Structure 1
Amino acid sequence: MNKVSIIIPVFNYAFVIAETLRNLLDQSHQNWEAIIVDDGSTDNSREIIEGFTQVDSRFHYFYQENQGVSIARNFGLAQATGDFYQFLDGDDLLSEKKLSLQLEHFKSNPQIDISYTDSYYFHTENPKLLSPNMEMDGREWMHKLQGRGYKTVRSLIDQNIAVISSPLIKASVVLNSGARFREGKAFLEDWEFWLKLAFADYSYHYLKNPDAFTSIRLHSKSVSNRYLKEMKEEVLAIRLKMNELLSISSFSSDEKEELLGFNKVLYKGNFKRLMYHVGLWDFIELRRLKQHLSTGEFLKYYFKSINHQRKELFKLWIKQLR
């Protein structure tokens, strides 16, 4: 029976980690190891986790000084001994049959390298109310891929296709590719990781099954709920990385040209949205952003930003009048 290594970075999640680990005990597929990497927690996370390691040898606890979630995941990968890798943040949950159904997905489709599922968001105070997007308005956003190569890379250039805990990955894919998470800010590092594997020509297959999904908890400590401006800036950095990956890819010249053009259009759109979050008179920040575009393009987005903020002030004024 295939063994799954579940890699779990933890930082001050004492208030939820027990629920996450109990969730693994309920998995229908029981041949797993949980590699829990404590990234310098200052709460009683260690005490709670060691309560699990003392009664079940499948739980493995490691401690490191606080260095960030990417280093924690990379450390977890170095400890993994399974045939498949499952990433899971310390505050999130897997459906009971997720692992077993994905392993069946691999068995019936030998060409698959990465199987990924639906993901749902929930607020910690209302766990039964699930939504496919973090705005909790029911909007579907995931691309449903079945393959590798040009179309898969194009979908990943368009947007991230999966949250960190959605895919189950063949261990050989990570070992042979040498892919690791970019160290630094904890923003969108999963997107870049999926991109590296797509450019290495590994296949992504979406598993449509209502019993296979991951649940992402929304709470005050969620990275996804913070640092909106920084996250938008990280999108720009990743789009520049896409250009680098495209330049060394094996795509034809026509495919490269199309993908580079597609990425450039998206880059400019992302830049415009970032400008909306910069103060109109924050000249130090504006000067820093200016280096990414020509003077003409920068001025165009600057005036669009003025118009956007004018509209927002007008909406606020109308609301106050009512």
Structure 2
Amino acid sequence: MNHLISIIIPCYNQGLYLDETIASVLNQSYTNWECILINDGSTDNTASIIEKWESIDNRIKSHYKENGGLSSARNLGLKKAKGFYVQFLDSDDLLHINKLKIALEYLQKNDLDIVVTNYAHFTNDVENITSPYYTLKQEFLNYNNILYQWDTDFAIPIHCALFKASLFELFEFPVTLKAKEDWYMWTVLFYNNPKSIYINDTLCFYRIHTKSMTGDNFNHMINNTMLFYDLIKTVIPKDDYIKLIELSNKKYINKSAVESQKKQQIKQSNAFKIGNKIEVFLKKIGLNNLSQKIIKKFSEK
């Protein structure tokens, strides 16, 4: 059963990592695949990198589109895909050499719709990996856990999975979502109760970027979470939606309470009290700007 696997890679200004990502596809021990690269209006050297790899292997195919975001790029990849199975891969992440082979064996042996594998984190060197933020488990692979526990107890990087392509015949990623689109996909797919399995083999690598999240990015995530709620309510039963909103409200209220407690603990700490005394002293000698930096430093600890 040598079925074709379509590997869909959206590409937007990740030329720095794209060579390594494509190489992880070419190195696959399972060889019956097509790699669909969607250049989503990149302004860096992505186009020349794609052209180079297309000349090396005819299984690599590319399509250019005006920039529309990750969801629109994946949708175009799904339209172009010819495979019986689908593997998503972001343009800065990597696949283990046996990812396709092992996942496909589980799919076919057990007549499954989705196989999810374990993953690891890395920054620049895939030889130096670290444990993921979440410990994945078989019990997470159901509709209720995905809807209610996502980003609280777990999240699943999309390249951990190998999917039957038929799951996406009536599905599109919402192009208005610029984040949380994976959560939407997993919720919609598992609402229909697909046959799935988790295997505890580290077969994917998720790149961690060193840049910290800015305030703008935090607001971006919050705004798209709200948009996710608006979109998912048209898909799931009303009672499930109400429960989701109730749980989300409790989560954010509890988080706010914890943050308030942390701030109170900081104010009661010796470091903060010493900082206040330093501030008073520096005001007297006209160096109050420096005192603000010191107070900020204490507060961040």
TM norm. shorter chain > 0.5? yes
Give the secondary structure class of the aligned counterpart of 1:207. Answer: strand
Give the secondary structure class of the aligned counterpart of 1:227. Answer: helix
Distance in 1 between residues matched to 2:214 and 2:102, nearest whole Å: 28
Distance in 2 between residues matched to 1:26 and 1:90, nearest whole Å: 16
Shift in Å at residue 242 of structure 1? 4.4
Corresponding residue of 2:126: 127
Give the secondary structure class of the aligned counterpart of 1:246. Answer: coil
| Residue type of the alignment partner of 1:128 | E
Root-mean-square deviation (CA, aligned residues, Å) is: 3.0
Give the secondary structure class of the aligned counterpart of 1:85. Answer: strand
Give the secondary structure class of the aligned counterpart of 1:15. Answer: helix
Distance in 2 between residues matched to 1:170 and 1:246, nearest whole Å: 22
The question of whether the paired residues in 1 share the 8 Å contact of 2:123 and 2:210 is answered with no
Q: Paired residue for 2:221, among 231, 250, 271?
A: 231
The question of whether the paired residues in 2 share the 8 Å contact of 1:120 and 1:214 is answered with yes
Q: 1:312 to 1:156 in 2, by over 3 A?
A: farther
Aligned residue-pair number: 271
Q: Paired residue for 2:159, among 159, 165, 169?
A: 165
| Residue type of the alignment partner of 1:187 | A
| Residue type of the alignment partner of 1:228 | F
Give the secondary structure class of the aligned counterpart of 1:190. Answer: helix
Q: Does 1:117 align with 2:121?
A: no
Corresponding residue of 1:317: 272
**1:109-153, CA deviations, whole angstroms, 9 ceiling, x for partnerless residues?**
11x1111111211112x432323335xxxxx33242487xxxx11
Q: 1:84 to 1:104 in 2, by over 3 A?
A: same
Distance in 1 between residues matched to 2:264 and 2:223, nearest whole Å: 23
For structure 2, the residue ranges without an aligned partner over 5 or more in a row are: 274-296
Q: Which has the larger radius of gyration?
A: 2
Equivalent residues in 2 for 1:244-255, closer than 5 Å: 244-247=234-237
Corresponding residue of 2:288: none
Q: Which has the higher helix share?
A: 2
Q: 1:222 to 1:53 in 2, by over 3 A?
A: farther
Q: 1:30 to 1:232 in 2, by over 3 A?
A: same
For structure 1, the residue ranges without an aligned partner over 5 or more in a row are: 135-139, 249-255, 277-300
Equivalent residues in 2 for 1:1-322, closer than 5 Å: 1-110=2-111, 112-124=112-124, 126-134=125-133, 140-145=134-139, 152-157=142-147, 158-159=149-150, 161-175=155-169, 178-210=170-202, 213-220=203-210, 227-247=217-237, 256=239, 259=240, 262-272=243-253, 276=256, 307=261, 309-311=263-265, 317=272, 320=298
Moved more, 77-86 or 216-225: 216-225
Distance in 1 between residues matched to 2:78 and 2:116, nearest whole Å: 19
What is the TM-score when the length of structure 1 is the normalising length? 0.74
Shift in Å at residue 80 of structure 1? 0.2
Distance in 2 between residues matched to 1:241 and 1:44, nearest whole Å: 35
Distance in 2 between residues matched to 1:93 and 1:224, nearest whole Å: 25
